[in-house]
């Protein structure tokens, strides 16, 4: 089977991002597409590649008996295996991995775990350990585990960067940041990788990038697709999946051919902000963003103040899938703004103080709050609540439903009916100012995208979503980078 970087690069014009076609020689800067570059992220729009002097190297032609340094810099030559580099590199060191294929499922000395390439040391603030594909090679180094292990595992690690790899046929995850070490995983960056064909056993959680018990992480500028559980589409298969991440930024990724794009399966147990999910291109999945919480999460644990902004979503059934109502505490403060959402609905079930503004929701536009009668009798069932819903642009088929499945269900057949919802509803799940949602919103038969057929959702000069102070939808400036810049 031919897939991966080489196959994808046969046609060097990439038209699958939401911008106009980007050629490999013309991948412009974008807007901080890899998050916190000071923590080892890459500003991948740089025209010249700067190579770190004194770096360590891995090459298919190397030898683990070497010291990892280039002979031209006084060393004895590159290592042969990623595991050698992962066991040796310390804070402030960069490891460049030359093009080739690496199969190293493990285990490392002293362990029986098949965890793939496993970093054994931490970086420090301002001095991360960086594992990077050599940027002057024509192809990414390939890490292929034949479905025996994750491609990379970080277990209780801090200040580590993994960037510029193709990862394929990994088991469980391309990069799996594992919990259970007794310390949080902190300040980890996963950037500029091509991750695909990831699978795992029946009943497991599988992801391109899995981030468990992670704080202040960055997942940026990756392309992730073809995620399966036991060979089939499954609700536990996601581009990015996490238990208990907090203050994590997920930006400028392309996520597709999985059950969900981003699946935050359980919140941080201390109730810290989940993170910011921005400038992602998510398509051809069932759920773009999936939130879950259950009674197994301690009472302080809740999804709090997560921001979802400037994402482009199409070919998706549900934009937000909210399954947080069966928790020990109320989840709150989900903020959705400046997204472009095509043909997907919005269903709020467990979040209160929910904000939805300056979005384009076009093609089957629908907003629903859902709760059942047990919210009145069960203190472990929490109802949703809309706090701010305004300045959105909808398609003319817009509908809304409040209290679906409850005895108080009210349906609104148009934006006009919805805009006076407060006059006819007791506001149990509608807590907007003056009871008037979307009072400054509008509908249109055509938002005037540049080329919707090719999924270019930038705006034409006559678009009703344009505004001098910032546009409605994902393209606030109409030049914003959505998805990876490669």
Percent of the chain with pLDDT over 70: 89
The answer to whether position 10 is within a domain reads: no
Residue 482 resides in a domain: no
129: pLDDT strictly greater than 60 = yes
Quote the domain boundaries for residue 144.
21-459
Q: What CATH number does residue 379 fall under? A: 2.160.20
User: Residue 470: its pLDDT value, please?
Assistant: 95
Q: Does the residue 485 lie in any domain?
A: no
pLDDT of 104 strictly over 50: yes
pLDDT of residue 11: 39
Residue 378's pLDDT band, with cuts at 50, 70 and 90, is confident
Least confident of 248-252, 313-317, 403-407: 403-407
Q: Is residue 341 part of a domain?
A: yes
Average predicted confidence (pLDDT) for the chain: 90
The highest-confidence range among 205-209, 367-371, 384-388, by mean pLDDT, is 205-209
Query: What is the pLDDT at residue 343?
Result: 97
In the predicted structure, residue 13 carries a pLDDT above the cut 70: no
Q: For residues 32 and 344, what is the distance between their CA atoms, to the nearest angstrom?
A: 28
pLDDT single digits (tens) 184-228: 999 999 999 999 999 999 999 999 999 999 999 999 999 999 999
Whether the CB-CB separation of 303 and 293 falls below 8 Å is answered with yes
Instruction: Tell me what percent of the residues of the chain surpass a pLDDT of 90.
Output: 79
pLDDT tens, position by position, 134-179: 999 999 999 999 999 999 999 999 999 999 999 999 999 999 999 9
The answer to whether residue 475 sits within a structural domain is no
pLDDT band at 326 (very low <50, low <70, confident <90, very high): confident
pLDDT in tens, 403-450: 999 888 999 999 999 998 876 766 667 888 777 899 999 999 999 999
**Greater model confidence, 30 or 235:** 235
Across residues 263-292, what is the average pLDDT? 97
How many structural domains compose the chain?
Answer: 1
User: Has residue 9 been placed in a domain?
Assistant: no
Q: Return the half-sphere exposure (C-beta side, CA atoms, 13 A cut-off) of residue 369.
A: 30
> Residue 7: what pLDDT?
54
Per-residue three-class SS string for the chain: CCCCHHHHCCCCEECCCCCCCEEHHHCCCCCCCCCCHHHCCCCCCCCCCCCCCCCEEECCCCCCCCCCCCHHHCCCCCECCHHHHHHHCCCCCEEEECCCEECCCCCCCCCCCCCCEECCCCCECCECEEEEECCCCCCCCEEECCCCCCCEEEECCEEEEEECCEEEEEECEEEEEECCCCCCEEEEEEECCEEEEEECCCCCCEEEEEECCEECCEEECCEEEEECECCECCCCEEEEEEECCECEEEECCEEEEEEEEEEEEECCCCCCCCEEEECCEEEEEEEEEEEECCCCCCCCCCCECCEEECCEEEEEEEEEEEECCCCCCCEECCEEECCEEECCEEEECCEECEEEECCEEECCCEEEEECCHHHHCCCCCCCCCEEEEECCEEECCCEEEEEECCCCCEEECCHHHHCCHHHCCCCCCECCHHHCCCCCCEEECCCCEEEHHHCEEEECCCCCCCCCCCCCCCCCCCCCCCCCCC
User: What is the mean pLDDT of the segment spanning 375-394?
Assistant: 90
In a domain, 12, yes or no: no
Domain-located, residue 473: no
């Amino acid at each position: 089977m031919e897939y991966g970087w080489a196959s994808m690069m046969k046609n060097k014009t990439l038209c699958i991002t939401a911008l106009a076609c980007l050629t490999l020689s013309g991948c412009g800067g974008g807007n901080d597409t890899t998050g916190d570059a000071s923590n080892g992220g890459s500003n991948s729009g740089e025209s010249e590649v700067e190579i770190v002097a004194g770096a360590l190297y891995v090459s298919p032609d190397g030898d683990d008996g070497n010291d990892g340094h280039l002979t031209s810099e006084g060393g004895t030559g590159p290592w042969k295996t990623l595991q050698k580099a992962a066991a040796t590199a310390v804070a402030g060191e960069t490891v460049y991995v030359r093009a080739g294929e690496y199969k190293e499922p493990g285990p490392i000395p002293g362990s029986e775990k098949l965890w793939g390439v496993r970093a054994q040391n931490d970086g420090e603030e301002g001095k991360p350990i960086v594992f990077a594909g050599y940027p002057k090679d024509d192809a990414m180094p390939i890490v292929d585990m034949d479905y025996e292990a994750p491609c990379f595992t970080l277990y209780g690690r801090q200040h580590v960067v993994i960037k510029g790899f193709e990862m394929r046929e990994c088991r469980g995850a391309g990069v799996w940041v594992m919990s259970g070490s007794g310390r949080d995983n902190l300040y980890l960056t996963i950037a500029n990788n091509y991750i695909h064909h990831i699978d795992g056993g029946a009943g497991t959680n599988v992801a391109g990038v899995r981030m468990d018990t992670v704080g202040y992480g960055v997942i940026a500028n990756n392309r992730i697709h073809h995620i399966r559980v036991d060979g089939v589409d499954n609700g536990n298969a996601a581009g990015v999946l996490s238990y208990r991440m907090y203050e994590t930024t997920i930006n400028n990724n392309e996520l597709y051919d999985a059950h969900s794009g981003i699946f935050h399966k359980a919140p941080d147990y201390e109730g810290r902000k989940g993170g910011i999910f921005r400038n992602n291109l998510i398509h051809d999945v069932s759920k773009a963003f999936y939130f879950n919480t259950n009674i197994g999460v301690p009472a302080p644990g809740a999804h709090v103040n997560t921001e979802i902004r400037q994402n482009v979503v199409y070919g998706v059934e549900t934009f937000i899938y909210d399954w947080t109502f069966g928790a020990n505490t109320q989840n709150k403060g989900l903020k959705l703004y400046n997204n472009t959402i095509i043909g997907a609905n919005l269903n709020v079930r467990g979040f209160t103080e929910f904000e939805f503004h300056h979005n384009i929701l076009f093609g089957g536009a629908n907003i629903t709050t859902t709760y059942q009668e047990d919210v009145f009798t069960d203190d472990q069932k929490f109802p949703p609540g809309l706090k701010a819903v305004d300045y959105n642009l909808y398609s003319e088929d817009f509908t809304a439903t409040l209290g679906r499945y409850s005895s108080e269900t009210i349906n609104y057949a148009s934006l006009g009916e919805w805009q006076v919802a407060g006059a006819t509803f007791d506001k149990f799940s509608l807590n907007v100012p003056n009871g008037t949602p979307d009072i400054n919103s509008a509908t249109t038969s055509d938002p005037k995208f540049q080329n919707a057929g090719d999924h270019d959702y930038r705006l034409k000069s006559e678009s009703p979503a344009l505004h001098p102070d910032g546009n409605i939808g994902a393209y606030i400036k109409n030049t914003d980078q959505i998805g990876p810049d490669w």
